[in-house]
């Protein structure tokens, strides 16, 4: 598997930036659209270049362990940032929650998402890979806790990440997708035939954490980006993209 080839270099005020000192941010794929707006706003306000690299949280975590030159990690869980902090791959004390997510059932064809999910003859069900994507893990928890896993497991098709799971459903390769609820506000999402919000109590909380990586030592842009992610401006953008934010 590879990191999604969605890399953006933003330097809206490049004259004030050292070209060899951008902040390089590893972003969980579910958060990629929000991250684009955040990076553009950060670069516009500070003149500091920002490079984004998207992929599943598990894949990005593995790349960081193998020396990938990221400065900041915007994960879709708590576990991997904590492991990086404890192993010395991240700056101690820099970890914080930047967003909280949820799940939804979505279909472009079915008129009743939950009934379609429970119908063994209805077709494939898309979800993110639970081994690498926190939203996939939460989806399996929901399906298991609500007694749907037996009828879904043989029909499941796994995306590498939350974005690909949605693509499977949006292109008709799956009749219904268990997707990140924040993806419902994507203006490019095809018209849906049904949406069903998964009860939050049916799965573990989806708490997305950011952490400053050891590669960022001495990188003022990375320090500034982490600070920006906690600002009121950033929280407003994150909330507008469908996520809960910490008070």
Q: Which two tokens stand for residue 224?
A: 């500034």
* Structure confidence at residue 160 (pLDDT): 93
The span from the CA of 240 to the CA of 184, in Å, is 12
- 42: phi then psi, degrees, rounded to nearest 5: -60, -45
Query: Domains of the chain, with CATH numbers?
Result: 4-100+207-240 (3.40.190.10), 103-197 (3.40.190.10)
- What integer pLDDT is reported at residue 7 of this predicted model? 37
Task: Give the pLDDT score at 217.
Answer: 78
The pLDDT of residue 10: 39
Per-residue confidence (pLDDT) for residue 43, from 0 to 100 = 95
- Per-residue model confidence as pLDDT tens for the chain (247 residues): 344 434 344 343 333 334 457 899 999 999 999 999 999 999 999 999 999 999 999 999 999 999 999 999 999 999 999 999 999 999 999 999 999 999 999 999 999 999 999 999 999 999 999 999 999 999 999 999 999 999 999 999 999 999 999 999 999 999 999 999 999 998 888 889 999 999 999 999 999 999 999 989 778 899 999 999 999 999 999 999 999 997 5
The pLDDT value given to residue 68: 96
Please tell me the predicted confidence (pLDDT) of residue 188: 86
For residue 158, CA distances in Å to 30, 36, 172, 215 come to 15, 25, 14, 32
Determine the pLDDT at residue 247.
Answer: 58
Residue 190 DSSP one-character state = P
pLDDT score recorded for residue 17: 37
pTM (two decimals)? 0.89
Q: Which residues pair with 156 in a beta bridge?
A: 125
For residue 19, the model assigns a pLDDT of 42
Check residue 244 and report its DSSP letter.
B
């Amino acid at each position: 598997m590879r990191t999604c080839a969605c890399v953006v270099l933003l330097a809206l005020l490049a004259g004030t930036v050292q070209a060899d000192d951008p902040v390089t941010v590893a972003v969980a794929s579910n958060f990629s659209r929000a991250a684009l707006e955040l990076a553009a706003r950060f670069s516009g306000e500070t003149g500091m270049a920002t490079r984004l690299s998207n992929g599943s949280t598990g894949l990005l975590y593995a790349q960081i362990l193998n020396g990938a030159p990221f400065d900041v990690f915007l994960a879709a869980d708590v576990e991997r940032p904590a492991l990086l902090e404890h192993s010395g791959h991240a700056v101690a004390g820099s970890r914080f929650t930047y967003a909280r997510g949820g799940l939804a059932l979505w279909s472009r064809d079915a008129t009743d998402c939950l009934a379609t999910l429970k119908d063994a003859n209805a077709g494939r069900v898309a979800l993110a890979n639970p081994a690498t994507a926190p939203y996939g893990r939460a989806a399996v928890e929901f399906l298991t806790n609500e007694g749907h896993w037996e009828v879904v497991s043989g029909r499941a098709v796994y995306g590498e990440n939350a974005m690909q799971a949605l693509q499977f459903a949006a292109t008709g390769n799956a009749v219904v997708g268990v997707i990140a609820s924040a993806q419902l506000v994507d203006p490019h999402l095809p018209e849906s035939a049904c949406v069903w919000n998964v009860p939050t109590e049916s799965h573990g909380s989806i708490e997305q954490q950011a952490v400053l990586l050891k590669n960022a030592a001495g990188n003022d842009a990375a320090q500034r980006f982490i600070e920006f992610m906690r600002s009121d401006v950033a929280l407003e953008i994150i909330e507008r993209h469908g996520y809960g934010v910490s008070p």
